[in-house]
Structure 1
Amino acid sequence: MDQLPAVKKRIQSIDVLRGIVMIIMALDHVRDYFHSDSFQHDPLDPATTTPFLFFTRFITHFCAPTFVFLAGTSAYLIGLKKTKAALSSFLLKRGLWLVLIEVVVISLAWTFNPLYNTIIFQVIWAIGISMVLLGLAVRLPYGVIFALGALIVLGHNLLDYPEAAHNHNVPFIWDLLHDGRFDNVTLFPQHSLVIAYAFAPWTGIMLMGYCAGKLFTPTVDTIKRQKALVGIGLGLIVLFVALRLLNGYGNPLPWTPQKTGMATFLSFMNVHKYPPSLMYMCITLGPSLLMLALLENVQNRFTDFVKVFGRVPFFYYVLHLYLIHILTVIAFYASGYGTKDIVGQSPFFFRPLTFGYSLGVVYLIWIGVVLALYPLCRWYNKYKSTHSQWWLSYL
């Protein structure tokens, strides 16, 4: 097969949006480790949360779906420089590599448990296995890939009904596929697997992101691309509002009237992430596509700053988890805890259930983490742009 025209330069809007969501993502992880209430109550429960806490958690909903979607888009753009066979091989190898990294590197970052008593399948696992499946799918016609992605995104909530009928007591494979709700599966004595991200819905998002890559080919006019992104983004938001008002299909749990109007609004906006429901996808990807259109020709100090993170997302992801957990260890001892408190009721070492600070302190730590990682990410971005070793494409 003849090789298709290569992409001449990186698309800044993709890097900027990816950088924004990577920065926001760190806020949620800092909150997990440092907020005094993070292990006590669900920040999205309208009965117990506050608007500020709800927003702090809800804004981070945009991170995973946007990143997975853009990973699919990037795969399409990489395919402009490769044959289908070469792209398939690359995605298969990189996907399996990410699954291995999730088990060996990321789980350790979360737990700081060198014995690996708990392995957590989170977003890197979901991206990895979705990339493997995309690697198999790229050999199919574009229309078939689009149909598969749309079928998964629009239809996967049909599986909610048999899962609920069985009280979510489903086989292990089903947990991995769709039902995973932080289920704890015993692998062997004193070692377990926590399934946070069931992969099927995320695979649907990646397939749709891959298909959206067609909008970013060199032959597509900028205005046409922006109009398409705005139209799709607004359509997803309208679909969210319509489905949420119907309060039926598209989210496992309905919204309910609360004691106050604000609490009712929070209930309306509280959509299901584990696994990501259709409504969750609509209200996160819709605004993200609008942002992608608006960022097309924007270039200023802010975009220059955030796109650094967007160009080295995996490098940043690994570093930020280790840095946050190291800071937790420092705060752990500074707060008067000792060796006997390292292993607690949670799988995260050095993170007692009653440990933590106010949301204001959480935001300060988050800002500090981002600023501390910026020089390293800038250095690595410069290194990647001036070197061509094969392994750089895996990091």
Structure 2
Amino acid sequence: MTDANHHQISPDSPTTDGPIGDRGEGRSARGADYVDWDFAASTGRRLAPAGPSVSRQEAATLVAELRGAAAAAVEPVAQTSGLRAPEGAPAPLVVDRAGWIAANAVSMKGMLAPVLDHVVASRSKEGRAPSPTAQRLGGRVTGAEVGGMLAWMSTKVLGQYDLAPESTPRLLLVAPNVLTVERDLDVDPSDFRLWVCLHEETHRVQFTAVPWLRGHILDTARELGTQLVPESDQLGQRVQEIVSALPGVVRGETDITQVLATPEQRERLAAVTAIMSLLEGHADVIMDDVGPSVIPSVATIRSRFQERRKGSGSVDRILRRLLGMDAKMAQYRDGAVFVRTVTDQVGRDGFNRVWESPETLPRAAEIADPAAWVARVHG
């Protein structure tokens, strides 16, 4: 809530190349039309909590400090990682939860459109394409579901490099979440803001200094998404399998990816997971390597942040499992071990050969066996 003396944080607005969910009236149906993206974004904004109430001065200070911390992180990350963003790479944006939702609705639409196009084409061939009215109603329902998911996730993300499949990729820093977490942890605000920016700046460098990486990840994810959609004659069986397996996911006995994929698809998922483990682990390692030289309280921050990850409530844990976010936590850990082990064996420049091409990225088995990557790439 806000009043005359307390205000919601009013940071930058994410830029997009067009209105969210532009349905293009008057043309034939596309996959993107199966989700009402306008409704998803508006639902997400309506459901998302506004975040902590702050004075106008506190809001201005927070936004200014995040911008300054993002700028201050650039040089230490470049020197420590050996990667440098090219001149002209977009600067980070400081956003509120509504801004994060708007940006991610656009990005999800761009990411999922080819996958949903595949669904449309398959149904059209079988003569099962829905009527325009049914499609609009279905799009609303799906849009509401996506909006609810975005609302929940908008309270969890501190920062994100938005790949923006059909727009301008750039780093987003979610101001109210940074403020919430630093208060929960009772840590030095300036130190925590810089610590977060070190991690996120590493992601910005990964995708701007390695120009092929963004396209490779987008193409791989879209191809995998298309493969994960079951054919119509398999749909009933797959739904039954998913429903029967969901209790195990909720209890933490299995991973959501084990439910949604066939054994062959799990191999492809493992390959994608290996890339994400590399990116997240690398960002964590750079953040912690830089930290002691520029952040006096970095040890306290890391310790309390790790404890916070363990201490989520039961409902939060269930949602994390259903959205696959528990797997993301493992990516930080496994990826960091890979990065440190490889760097210890072949040095920073030897490790940085991972960025040469898709062929030098670690394979799924190599994340757990860094020596195998070293043997394959370095001989």
Question: Above 0.5 in TM-score?
Answer: no
- Structure number with the bigger relative contact order (C-alpha 8 A, sep ≥ 6) is 1
TM-score by length of 1: 0.26
TM-score by length of 2: 0.27
